[in-house]
């Protein structure tokens, strides 16, 4: 090995973003680089990863260090950019026989590293011959080349990498990573609290990783089907470190990349379909390709609306699925309009009759689409029968403008993985990105938001550049009684990208006669709780007359505003450890946690389901260690608070899917000589929600500033000095607010 050119020891930990600035508290991550192009990653004096081959494809041949690719110079580099100061090395490679220049740069920041590939010259003949390979490799690491006791989670497949997610030990031959077109971020972690995320940092739609099983190595680069790379094309990969576990790694990594791509929360916070209850008709719904007997969809939807008005179910929008528009014999969309037999009076008439806005679903485009110039339409499409893809910004501008005329507020783009499965999208280095950017620009121009469905990790990451993409499905299709509610891991990834995780629709009652599936839903409580705690859309799909209003209203206020936690509920780190290490350490089932932050006070939520054995949950396990809280649950009108500490863990057991365990934590508020515990709205899934509680003030009294629907009656529960429960009722004022004062037991 060459003489050490530079060895950098980084002091790293979480990033805290405040007023657009970065600040750091420090822990140790080690990056060592050598003049011969090798490098390694270490954590706390322990080597985790050592480099494998750097290579590119050019003129139809794989150019490696020993065959064609020559390292001609290594330079120390430094700079400053939006993310701060960085130092590192650039390895300058050359393929002399065809005069191809390729630079590989390692940029070292405080607690993360960016690996950059720069094609200094245009390169042709780059295709590897396999879509699921890569045409360029940097960084690359040996699998199990360092610490062989690491665990991993590998995202892959659609629904933001949920459907093919894998986990295990990061060593050969145990590791079976997702790679290629379906691949996503790779997360590595030890049995303690150190974790690393490795993922694309730019050119998301063209990026891939490749797991070379024979060579026991994993490589990041441009996807394998690309045949030409333009001059000065740059692709980057980020390696992000956290000393405090996988959940915190995702949270802080997400904060960093959203800052870098200027993706704020404004569209997500204002999206009506995320914030209010909606009625859904997608796969799993009672009225999915199914109507009331001997009538049309038009009549059925209007009858659903009449039922909900009579029963005072506060739906604020309707979702129409793929049943409303025409498709070709392969299932591709020909024209995005309502079929006459579905809505005889047209979409605009139905919108007016419902008197609610619309969210609507779309599939991939058929090569027979009437919008394409080749088929007599007005817009540019690339056709690859039986599919097509638009390549015309004016198409999306016009398309979304037309849909606004019949009440559309949210456009659901489904079948994203199928659309991207075209040869032209997987071989053109720019086409995938341009497709999604144009779609997003058209929606933004027309004040619409977008939900991604069946999105591969690359689609989800591309949404960082598309602010109107506010939400994404993170599970497979709902069917009554199935297990697609298990979204505790995929929600971490989606939320980090600024996407509200959507678990899909659900039923609120077990038996709904006449359903097309011939099934029942035994887990109605779990479905309701998961949907609410996801922070994504809450969209039931019951038959007329079959809604459990009491269960449904646990999610929201009187107006249908969803009462959410501050972040999605996600699987605890110990759950990931058990999956990866299979050593019995961690819960045998699902344990997710989240919290609400109000006025600097934290209120925790714990959801446990499908546990096959008792698990002693500690505050450290939860990830929200806010003082020494009390913990309580609400079951059949019974409330009882207990101590919760490392010495007094919560012993979770008897938490089946049909009767999940939901526990809450609250700090003790000292008011005068009294210790007050706030239970909150115990008839809601989120007992203390920022959508309900604006502010908490503590002085000689405890004031809770509330908001809601004018005239809405709100019940808050408390205990004083550990004594019996005290209920205080508040009526929300005409201005939508009220102030609850504990000592005087009144509201104003």
What is the reported pLDDT for 146? Answer: 83
| CA pair distance 307, 294, nearest whole angstrom | 18
| CA pair distance 358, 103, nearest whole angstrom | 49
Q: What is the pLDDT of residues 339-378, one digit of tens each?
A: 999 999 999 999 999 999 999 999 999 999 999 999 999 9
133 burial via Cβ count (<10 Å: 0-12, 13-18, 19+): buried
Lowest-pLDDT range of 14-23, 134-143, 169-178, 200-209: 14-23
What is the reported pLDDT for 7? Answer: 38
- pLDDT of 1 > 90? The answer is no
Write down the mean pLDDT value for the chain: 93
pLDDT (mean) for 115-123: 97
- By C-alpha distance, which of 260, 317, 250, 332 is closest to 114? 260
- pLDDT of 227 > 90? The answer is yes
- pLDDT of 23 > 50? The answer is no
pTM: 0.95
pLDDT (mean) for 11-15: 32
pLDDT (mean) for 299-310: 98
Contact 538, 278 (CB under 8 A): yes
pLDDT band at residue 390 using 50, 70 and 90 as cut-offs: very high
3-state DSSP assignment of residue 197? strand
| CA pair distance 237, 240, nearest whole angstrom | 10
What is the reported pLDDT for 511? Answer: 98
- pLDDT of 152 > 60? The answer is yes
- pLDDT of 198 > 70? The answer is yes
pLDDT (mean) for 201-212: 98
Q: Cis before residue 139, ω within 30 degrees of 0?
A: yes
Question: In whole angstroms, what separates CA 568 from the centre of its chain?
Answer: 9
Contact 237, 199 (CB under 8 A): yes
Domains of the chain as residue ranges with CATH: 6-260 (2.70.98), 266-555 (3.20.20.70), 587-747 (no CATH)
Dihedral pair phi/psi, residue 572, rounded to 5°: -65, 155
- By C-alpha distance, which of 243, 442, 423 is closest to 336? 442
R_g of the chain, CA atoms, integer Å: 27
| CA pair distance 475, 350, nearest whole angstrom | 30
Structure tokens at 140: 């690359």
pLDDT (mean) for 195-217: 97
Instruction: Provide the pairing of β-strand 449-452 with 408-413.
Output: parallel
Segment 82-87 long-range contacts (CB within 8 Å, at least 24 positions apart): 82/259, 82/260, 83/22, 83/109, 83/256, 83/259, 83/260, 84/22, 84/109, 84/110, 85/109, 86/114, 87/8
pLDDT band at residue 582 using 50, 70 and 90 as cut-offs: very high
For helices 431-445 and 393-404, the axis angle rounded to 10 degrees is: 30
Instruction: Provide the pairing of β-strand 46-50 with 39-43.
Output: antiparallel
* Residues recorded for the chain: 748
List 295's β-bridge partners, or say none.
none
What is the reported pLDDT for 722? Answer: 84
What is the reported pLDDT for 21? Answer: 24
Contact 505, 282 (CB under 8 A): yes
Please give the span between the terminal C-alpha atoms of the chain, in angstroms, as a whole number.
76
For residue 136, what are the CA distances in angstroms to 129, 157, 225? Answer: 13, 22, 11
| CA pair distance 273, 108, nearest whole angstrom | 40
Q: What is the pLDDT of residues 455-489, one digit of tens each?
A: 999 999 999 999 999 999 999 999 999 999 999 99
309 Cβ contact partners less than 8 Å away, ≥ 6 residues apart: none
Contact 537, 505 (CB under 8 A): no
Q: What is the pLDDT of residues 442-454, one digit of tens each?
A: 999 999 999 999 9
What is the reported pLDDT for 636? Answer: 66
Q: What is the pLDDT of residues 604-633, one digit of tens each?
A: 999 999 999 999 999 999 998 777 778 999
pLDDT band at residue 303 using 50, 70 and 90 as cut-offs: very high
- pLDDT of 603 > 90? The answer is yes
- pLDDT of 13 > 50? The answer is no
Q: What is the pLDDT of residues 506-556, one digit of tens each?
A: 999 999 999 999 999 999 999 999 999 999 999 999 999 999 999 999 999
Q: What is the pLDDT of residues 170-193, one digit of tens each?
A: 998 889 999 999 999 999 999 999
pLDDT (mean) for 25-47: 84
CB atoms within 10 A of CB 194: 24
């Amino acid at each position: 090995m060459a003489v050490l050119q530079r060895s950098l020891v980084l002091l790293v930990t979480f990033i805290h973003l405040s007023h657009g600035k970065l600040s750091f508290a420090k822990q140790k991550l080690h990056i060592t680089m050598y003049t011969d192009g090798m490098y390694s990653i270490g954590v706390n004096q322990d080597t985790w990863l050592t480099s494998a081959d750097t290579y590119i494809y050019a003129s139809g041949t794989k150019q490696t260090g020993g065959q064609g690719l020559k390292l001609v110079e290594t330079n120390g580099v430094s700079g400053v950019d939006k993310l701060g100061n960085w130092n590192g090395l650039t390895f300058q490679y050359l393929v002399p026989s065809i005069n191809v220049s390729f630079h590989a740069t390692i940029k070292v920041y405080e607690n993360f590293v960016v690996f950059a590939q720069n094609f200094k010259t245009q390169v042709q003949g780059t295709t590897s011959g396999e879509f699921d390979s890569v045409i360029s490799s940097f960084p690359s690491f040996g699998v199990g080349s360092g610490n062989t006791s690491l665990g991993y989670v590998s995202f892959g497949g659609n629904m933001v990498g949920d459907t093919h997610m894998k986990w295990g030990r990061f060593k050969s031959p145990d590791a079976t990573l997702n790679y290629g077109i379906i691949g996503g971020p790779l997360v590595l972690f030890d049995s303690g609290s150190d974790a690393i995320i490795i993922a694309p940092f730019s050119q998301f739609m063209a990026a891939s990783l490749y797991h070379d099983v024979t060579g026991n190595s994993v490589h990041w680069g441009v996807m394998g089907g690309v045949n030409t790379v333009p001059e000065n094309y740059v692709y980057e990969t980020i390696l992000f470190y956290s000393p405090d576990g996988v959940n915190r790694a995702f949270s802080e990594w997400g904060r960093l990349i959203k800052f870098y791509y200027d993706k704020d929360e404004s569209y997500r916070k204002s999206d009506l379909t995320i914030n209010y209850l909606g009625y859904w008709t997608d796969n799993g719904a009672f009225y999915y390709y199914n109507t009331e007997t001997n009538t049309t969809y038009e009549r059925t939807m209007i009858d659903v609306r009449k039922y909900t008005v009579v029963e005072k179910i506060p739906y604020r929008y309707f979702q129409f699925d793929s049943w409303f528009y025409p498709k070709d014999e392969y299932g591709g969309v020909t024209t995005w309009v309502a079929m006459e037999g579905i809505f005889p009076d047209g979409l605009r008439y139905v919108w007016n009759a419902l008197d609610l806005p619309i969210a609507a679903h779309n599939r991939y485009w058929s090569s027979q689409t009437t919008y394409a110039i080749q088929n007599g339409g007005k817009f540019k499409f690339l056709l690859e029968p039986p599919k097509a893809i638009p390549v015309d910004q004016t198409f999306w501008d016009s398309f979304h403008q037309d849909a606004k005329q019949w009440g559309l507020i949210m456009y659901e783009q489904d079948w994203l993985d199928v659309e991207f499965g075209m040869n032209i999208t997987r071989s053109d280095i720019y086409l995938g990105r341009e497709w999604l950017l144009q779609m997003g620009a058209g929606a933004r121009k027309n004040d619409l938001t977008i939900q991604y469905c069946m999105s591969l990790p690359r689609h989800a990451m591309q949404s960082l550049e598309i602010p109107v993409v506010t939400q994404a499905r993170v599970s497979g299709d709902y069917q009554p009684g199935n297990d697609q509610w298990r979204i505790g891991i995929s929600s971490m990834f989606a939320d980090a990208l600024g996407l509200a995780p959507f678990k899909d629709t659900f039923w609120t009652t077990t038996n709904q006669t006449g359903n097309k599936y011939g099934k029942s839903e035994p887990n109605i409580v779990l479905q309701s709780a998961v949907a609410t705690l996801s922070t994504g859309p809450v969209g039931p799909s019951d038959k007329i007359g079959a809604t459990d209003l009491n269960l449904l209203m646990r999610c929201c206020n009187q107006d249908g505003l969803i009462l959410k936690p501050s972040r999605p509920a996600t699987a605890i780190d110990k759950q990931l450890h058990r999956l990866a290490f299979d050593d019995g350490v961690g819960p045998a089932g699902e344990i997710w946690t989240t919290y609400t932050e109000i006025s600097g006070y934290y209120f925790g939520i714990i959801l446990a389901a499908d546990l096959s054995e008792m698990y002693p949950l500690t505050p450290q396990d939860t990830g929200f260690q806010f003082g020494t809280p009390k913990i309580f649950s609400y079951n059949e009108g019974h409330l009882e608070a207990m101590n919760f500490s490392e010495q007094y863990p919560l012993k979770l057991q008897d938490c089946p899917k049909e009767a999940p365990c939901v526990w809450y934590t609250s700090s003790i508020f000292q008011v005068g000589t009294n210790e007050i515990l706030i239970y909150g709205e115990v008839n809601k899934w989120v007992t203390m929600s920022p959508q309900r509680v604006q502010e908490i003030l503590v002085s000689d009294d405890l004031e809770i500033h509330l908001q809601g629907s004018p005239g809405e009656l709100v019940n808050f529960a408390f205990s004083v000095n550990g004594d019996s429960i005290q209920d205080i009722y508040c009526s929300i004022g005409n201005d939508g607010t009220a102030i609850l004062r504990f000592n005087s037991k009144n509201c104003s």
